[in-house]
Structures are given as structure tokens and as C-alpha cells.
A and B are shown apart, each in its own frame.
Chain A
């Protein structure tokens, strides 16, 4: 039980990161972006390539920071991948979503995002093959915190949690303390009014994609560190991330963070009460329950 709770928090940390980007895009651009989870794959595979390159060029960076399975090369790769994935998200918007947004209706955007998801997923599969990939083939052993009840924690996951919380805190500061943060929120609230007040709409949208993409990359890499990389990881993660976003309330960054942790914990606790065959239903049940009590999610607000 305690173990499940801890595991849930650890799972929740990367779900939250994914959900933050999604909630911003969904709120500001007003469409359900089903390709968002593919940005996680993109970021994770980007880091895989970068990690291999850096390790080959500077072998002294390929040494692990014990007890973590993390290396200096991977640390650098995380930063590179954040930039590249953010730029990729921007490019995808320029090439696809922007054009659809100008001509099509809201539903066209949703379908375009489905298409984009399939393209990204299959291109990754084409390049890397369908088998799982790993940042490190060595298995990082868990540390036993207590024997009875049995509580095990992997050092990597503690790092993931701390790093995720740090990123969230930085984002919080940006949103609540900077002019940029205010303009972001203004656009989300009312794009026309924000423009009238001198907010550059295009630049704000660009920023949203960059932030969303960068956070997605981190989430994907953290997922890869905790588990493994497969081309279909986006497909596996899209539901929990959407659930986190909807539970938290679309548009609320804090809601997304909380939603991520709720979905993570619920997914891990589900096995205590449900037979294992039924656990995939938990994100859906959560969405239904939350929407019945709070139709706009925990932190969401009704839009005029």
C-alpha cells in the first residue's frame, strides 16, 4: 500500500510534466492535441541519439553518477533534447497545425493531431525499429527503505521526482512573476483582448509550443530512464496524460501537476482493489468521477 503510493508519486512526476504542456496547448490553441504524447517519444529518442554521440565523443562523460544510472552525457542530452523537441513542436505547428487552424474547424485540428501522432510514431519506428531501446542496459537496483512493510525506491526515480518538481517550480515562477507569464495567461483567457492590449499573439503561441515541447522531452526522457523506450510509448502515455489534463482542469498548470500525480497514484493503487486485467480502465473512471463532480476539472474554470 505505501509502496503503491510512492510508486504512484514517482509515476505521477513524468505524467505531470507531459500534462503541463498539453494543458497549455489545449487551453491557448483550443484543441485536443493527440500528438502531444508523441513529443515525449521524440524527446526520448532525441536524447538517446545525443547520449550516444556525446558518450562517443567524450567518454569521460559516460561515467555513471552512482547510485544513479544517469551519466553526464545523458544530462547534456536532456538539455539538447529539450531544445530540439521544443523546436520540433514549433515546426510541426508551422507546417501543419497553423495551416489547419487558419482554414479548418476545431474538429479538423483534432484529426490533424491524430495524423501527426501516427506520422511521428511510425517515423520513429522506421528509424529505430520496433524493439525497446534503453539508455543504459544495466539494471539500476532499488534501495530497500524498509523490509516490513516492503518499501523499495530506485535512486533514479528520486532524481526524476526532484528534477520534475524543480522544473514545475521554475515554470510557476515564470507564469506568476514575469510579464511573459502574464501575457501567456492573458492570451489563454481571451486572445482578442490580449492582442488589443499589445500582446503579440504569434510570439505567445510560439512560446507555448517551445515550453510544451521542452517539458514533453523531459517527461519522455524520465519515462525512458524509469522504464524503456519504444516507438509506441506515445500511444501508451497519451491516455494517462489526457486523463491528468482533464482531471486537473484544462488550462490550469497546477491542475495538470496535481492531475498527473492523481492519475499516477490511482494507477498504482488500482491493483490493490481491482484484478490486474481491469487496471487500464482507471484513468477513464477518474475522468468520469471528476467531471461528474467538477465539470471543468479540479482547477478548471468555465469559459465564457
Chain B
């Protein structure tokens, strides 16, 4: 009984849909995301959510969109194979992903750039991409909706400037992230006229950081900048304080931890200010939260969800702007038309996409007000993000200052 009913319903549905889409076509876009890890799955679901909204508005560039999703397993080899299959076999012109910088990078250099495919990552933060773009090796095909470590370093420099520190010693974790931070912060400190007295690598798993701390102490700085993780951060800072080093500290976001606060002690952290990127406080971000909650019945609290949504939406808006049968390069070039600060504002939902279609059809430009705020790419495909300055409190951490996207952008521009 129920079988026939289901069959009948299915038949009816398929007839309905074939009637509705009688004159329509389907364009495939690719997505390479780590769906096999627990935090990767929601990122992919959020991308699909954006695709569904666009399809509800009639699709992009006259066609319904089908997102072909492949798993990267957070493995560069698997990711490259998946991307190759999507580009060569499925013939996609737009590729979403990957999450890890280490996976996105080989895909970019060996698949999307040679294949002329636009790549839009939700979550890769390495500044290596910026370097690659500056050398002109991305052909303008690379974008990401995740802020680079550059934002945090710029805010660190702003804190030093606001506090009036004249000289700063830098202690950084000796890994990709720490080296990146140390390099960026040195430039940013120089730009605001703060002297970096010394920059010392802190290696993992050393029994003692006494020598490193002594070295930094010898330069007698006004303050120290710490790009460390809590384990070695605690050891180094306790050593630093016990040797009479200054308690003026600027901390990278990795030290925003209760473990660090408890083991160093609140009484020594009164002058410690931390930096971090923040989610935007705008109506469009709230709207995304509400829409996400309605669709998934949970808060969008996982990493990269808002970024994944915006990456997908912008890619599809760009496809719409580039028109039917556009190449990857043409779609990439159209990104500027949909993230134009002077363009017509559009919301991040079905109605917004429909509105954008009208504006773009009339030759206008739009400003996408997304889940991560008003997304704006620079020449290297990078975005900025709002930031917070925080300090430790008895309960945990508290916000000292919130910097909007415009303030962050303004400050970063003033550094150059």
C-alpha cells in the first residue's frame, strides 16, 4: 500500500520538477572539503545550504546549480586527486575549498591555476597564499573568505601604539604559524615606529626556556609580544616574570586560555592585552545565524561556517555576474562586481540573490552583505575581519575593544 503511494508521489514529483525545469539546465560546481572529519561536515552542509537558496531563486547564470562534493580527508594528495577529478571529469569552473592551507595550496598550484578554474576557500589562513598572489602566480583565480594572520598582527601593532610602547621583544612558537606571526608583527611594529629589540624562536618540547628568556631580557624592552601556545607560553612567561621582565604583554589569540591564565596568575597579567579576530556585529551576520538556526536547528558555532556560506554565495553571485558559459577566469574577474563597496547592497538569502540578479542584469554592481559582514577582497584575494582586543579577567577573558571591519581595514591600510 505504502509502496504504491510512495511510488506515485515520486512519479508525481518527478513529473512536476521536469515540468518546472523544462527549459532549464544544470551547472556543476565543485567542492573539496574534509567531510570525513567531524568539523568538516557542517562546512560542506553550509555550502550546500547556500546553493539551495540560490536554486530557490532560480539558480545562477540561468541554470540550476549542482554542487559536486568530494572529501579531502585533510590530506593534500587526496585533495588534489579530488580536485583533479572535479575539474577534468565534471568540468567545473568553480571550486570551493579546501579547508586546510596545506591542502588548498597544492590544489591551487597544480589543479585550479593550470586549469583556469576559480578557487574560493572558506578557511585557509596561511599568508603563503598572499605571497603567491603577489608573485602573480594565482592568475587572480584565488579567493578566500577567511582572514589571514595579518589581521591579528596589525591589531597587535595597534595595541603597542595605543599603549605607547617604544620597544618590544618578540617570542614566537617555532612553527609555520609562529614564524608567520613573527615576520608579520615585525613589519607592523616597524610601521608604527615600535622597535623590535629581538625576535626569538621558542621550540617545542624544550626542558627549559631560560636561555631564550634571558636573551630577550637582555634587550630590556618596554613590552613583550607572545605568539605562543599555552604550554610553552606558560613556561616562558613564568620564567620571564620571575627574572623581573616587564609585565606589559601583547598576546596572540593562541594564549586566550584559562590554563595559561591560571598557571601564570592573574596578578601578573593585569597589563596583558590579547588580540583576536572576531565575528562581525552586523545585521547580516545576525540574519545568517537566524537562517542557519532555522535550517539546521543549531547555532552556527563550528569553525568556518559563516565563511563557507559567504564563499559559496560570492562564487555563485560571480557566476551570475559573469553570465552563461563563462570561464573560470571570467567568473573570478566578476567577483569584484559582486563585492563592490559602492554597489547596491544585497542580503545573504534567496531574496537577496534574486535582487542581485536584477541589478547585475542591468549592468550594475552589488555589495554582498554576508555572514561575515561586507566581504571585500584585496588584490590578493584576501579578506579582512573585525578584531577584538581582550584581557584576562577573573572569569576568563573580557573584551577591551572591538574594532569593526572598517577600522581594521583602515588601520592595515595606514601601515602600508
Binding site for B on A (CB under 8 A): 3-4, 7, 11, 131-132, 134, 137-142, 144, 150, 152, 154, 223, 226-228, 230, 232-233, 235-237, 240, 267-271, 275-277, 279-280
Contact = CB atoms under 8 A, between A and B. Distances in A.
Given A4-B214, A137-B263, A150-B217, A228 B234 contact: yes
B242 A140 contact: yes
Contacts of A227: 207-208, 235, 238-239
A132 B215 contact: no
Nearest to B207: A236
Contacts, number: 94
B263 A277 contact: no
Tell me which of B202, B203, B218, B243 has the highest count of chain A C-beta atoms within 10 A of its own C-beta: B243
4 pairs of A and B residues whose beta carbons are closest in the complex: A277-B201, A276-B201, A268-B211, A236-B207
B300 to A, nearest CB: 29
A277 B203 contact: yes
A232 to B, nearest CB: 7
Given A227-B207, A228-B234, A280-B206, A131 B241 contact: no
B259 A131 contact: yes
A29 to B, nearest CB: 25
Contact of A280 (B203, B210, B243): B203
Interface residues of B, number: 32
Contacts of B218: 3, 150
B402 interface: no
29 contacts: A3-B214, A4-B211, A4-B214, A11-B207, A11-B210, A132-B234, A132-B235, A137-B262, A138-B265, A139-B242, A139-B264, A139-B268, A140-B242, A141-B241, A141-B242, A152-B244, A227-B235, A227-B238, A228-B263, A230-B231, A235-B205, A236-B205, A268-B214, A269-B211, A270-B211, A271-B214, A276-B200, A277-B203, A280-B203
A303 B208 CA distance: 35
Contacts of B211: 4, 7, 267-271, 279
B207 A276 contact: no
Contacts of A140: 242
B45 interface: no
Contacts of A152: 214, 217, 243-244
A236 B209 CA distance: 12
Nearest to B242: A139
Contacts of A223: 207
A76 B258 CA distance: 31
Interface string B267-287: 010000000000000000000
A236 B206 contact: yes
Given A228-B235, A276-B201, A279-B203, A132 B259 contact: yes
Given A7-B214, A132-B259, A230-B231, A137 B265 contact: yes
A43 to B, nearest CB: 15
A137 B241 CA distance: 13
Contacts of A228: 234-235, 238, 263
A131 to B, nearest CB: 5
A93 B217 CA distance: 45
Contacts of B203: 276-277, 279-280
Nearest to A133: B263
Given A132-B234, A236-B205, A236-B206, A142 B244 contact: yes
Contacts of B210: 7, 11, 268
A142 B207 contact: no
Contact of B208 (A3, A4, A11, A269): A11
Given A7-B210, A268-B210, A139 B202 contact: no
Nearest to A241: B207
A241 B201 CA distance: 23
A235 B238 CA distance: 21
A220 B238 CA distance: 18
Contacts of A134: 263
B53 interface: no
